[in-house]
Amino acid sequence: MKVISGPASKDLGERVSALTGFGNVPVSFKVFPDGESYVRLEGSVQDQNVAIVQTTSPPQQDGRLIQLALIADAAKRGGASKVSAIVPYLAYARQDKMFLAGEGISIETVARMLKASGIDELITVNIHSESALQKFPFPARTLSAIPLLAEYFVEKGFKGAFALAPDKGAMHIAKQAQEVLAGNAGHLDKQRDRYTGQTKQTAEGLNVSGQSVIIFDDIISTGGTIVGAARILREQGAKHVFCACVHGLLIGDAEKRILDTGVEEIVSTDSVPSTSSKVSLAPLLSEELKAQE
């Protein structure tokens, strides 16, 4: 197998190549003056299985998706036997159904586009809803980085901390963290207005007074969910509050707003590289790729 490190995940791809021992095929990448992307593989992929590592995070999710498709096309034209797309953050995965009349199903459109570019398989990480994977016309699966995030806190000395999901839908995430932290787990409740996007959080039956609490979520986008959760935890008298997510999009001043609530640290993965990316996905992705070779 060969690893192709896409421009959006160059460091992560190179780490995967180093950990697996699979050769890295460099990509020459540039953006034309009119904004269009150009890619060229700088090594042979003839008769090889290839894994393209390319996240599709904001603010360039559209461009990054196109770059992924261009690399896949180049790999197939270069004679690759099988093209796997390793897409840590999969853009458009949250629009996996028609929530309102007149909408499309964005992830299905993306899936068809990736198929047309020559991709044979997709591996992503903590996709928001696993039902989105069913929209792909080729094998697609998701891995979980939550145990790696929880291990970060164990190493920091917080074994036994309370794993909190900011809404009921994220409880499976909190349970995965709980298995590593060996403490308690629970969730808040969150209601979202489909038209305004406004959310309201409540904490029925939850009491974390005096406890160290880590809020685990798949994505932090605007930070609104974590800010609301952290305020509730502070009101209840939590001793320490941290937050961890797989995909730290951290749009605008999200990081500042979260830290202003008294959250002591924001920890995310290199799915979306930022100053909070303190946990690498490289070991998780490497194990997966080695297992399938």
Q: How far is the CB of 32 from ligand R5P (least distance, A)?
A: 33
Could you give the angle at the alpha carbon of 248 between the alpha carbons of 246 and 250, nearest 5°? 160
Q: How far is the CB of 246 from ligand R5P (least distance, A)?
A: 10
Report H helices in the chain. Answer: 10-20, 61-77, 106-116, 146-155, 171-181, 224-236, 254-260, 282-291
Token couple for 23: 């050769």
Of the CA atoms within 13 Å of residue 276, those in its CB half-sphere come to 26
Long-range contacts (CB closer than 8 Å, 24 or more residues apart) made by 204-210: 206/164, 206/236, 207/236, 208/162, 208/164, 208/233, 208/236, 208/237, 208/238, 209/236, 209/237, 209/238, 210/237, 210/238, 210/239
Phi and psi dihedrals of 15, rounded to 5? Answer: -70, -40
Residue 121 or 167: the one with the smaller Cβ distance to ligand R5P is 167
Residues contributing to the site for ligand R5P (CB under 6 A): 128, 166-167, 169-170, 217-225
Q: How far is the CB of 137 from ligand R5P (least distance, A)?
A: 26
Identify which of 124, 139, 60, 63 has the alpha carbon closest to the alpha carbon of residue 90: 124
Q: How far is the CB of 165 from ligand R5P (least distance, A)?
A: 9
Token couple for 201: 């959080």
Residue 184 or 199: the one with the smaller Cβ distance to ligand R5P is 199
Residue 85 or 266: the one with the smaller Cβ distance to ligand R5P is 266
Which active-site residues does the annotation give?
Answer: 190
CB 260 within 8 A of CB 234: no
Q: How far is the CB of 190 from ligand R5P (least distance, A)?
A: 7
